[in-house]
Structure 1
């Protein structure tokens, strides 16, 4: 099943159970525009507790704040950018790189799961294939994986569109003073077992 983001402004979709939405406060991050570089509210983000790829635990390291791995929640990012070296090492099947993009065997599903606080959020394997982007290696067509690298400020990881296709997200704040602290609500919309069953019959539609 292909999942696509749905936007509701000013309220929560009535079809989404309130009990299924789990909220976390956003994290203040270093603001380099001010003297002393204080921690301020700048981004929608969350502390990433754990990351798994194809059942393997991916080590996470927080470089911005001690004890935290800050995932910047970016609806405009086309990829998931988090520990790409370790993720690529855990890819099922053959993979290739052109020095920037990662290409994987199109018909082999890859499973990425984020844990935020105590809750896990799996990504449908189809959403880890970039639509319409392929490369040929030794006569075999490979698909571009929606996995990238990130080494700038704002977050230790960039959590982009593949993630948002698989969660219902609430960006919640009270007023323009951002008091109390803004928070993010997440509800998983993907049954990974069903997604794996459908993958073999669905992945080709991703490349149209």
Structure 2
């Protein structure tokens, strides 16, 4: 929420600028930066990173702070309802139904949890790599604009053409800096903070499941989680 508030405040600052917000818009520079960034990102990122990213997007929809409170309530009331956003509780119930317990149960569940956390780290790194390219694309847009400007100076054209070329040269760099430093990198910081809380929640889930695993299977089924 604070991230969206910051982005909205920045846009509002540009809109209410005394020179007018449209003075900062240049379609050519915007296309060079945005389209070029995503093309390079797609070319240089491994495909498995995008698969991790898709899984991570679904996982990021979980309100980790709220889920942390739900886990605390579960410690007080093992019969209470609990969501299973990570799939760990469902996996544990399946393992218990198969009669798997003890150290084998803990090993399999730890492997599942580590896989989830590795995917989160890989997805965040993939988004972080995206933030490296907008400034470079902005410089490319600036160079293209300067080249077009020099062509305009060498030919008999009006000042409006020269101004358009110069505007593209300057705004392309601006777009690259905004996309990288005001959108992508702050988003990465928020995702990393959320990932730390997710890791803590996963540890809590594992502790709860391992505690139940120490009891006989029959008892575990009696206090089985009511997964919503």
Structure number with the higher helix fraction is 2
TM-score between both structures, scaled by the size of structure 1: 0.25
**Which protein has the larger Cα radius of gyration, Structure 1 or Structure 2?**
2
Structure with more relative contact order (C-alpha pairs < 8 Å, separation 6 or more):
2
Structure number with the higher strand fraction is 1
TM-score between both structures, scaled by the size of structure 2: 0.23
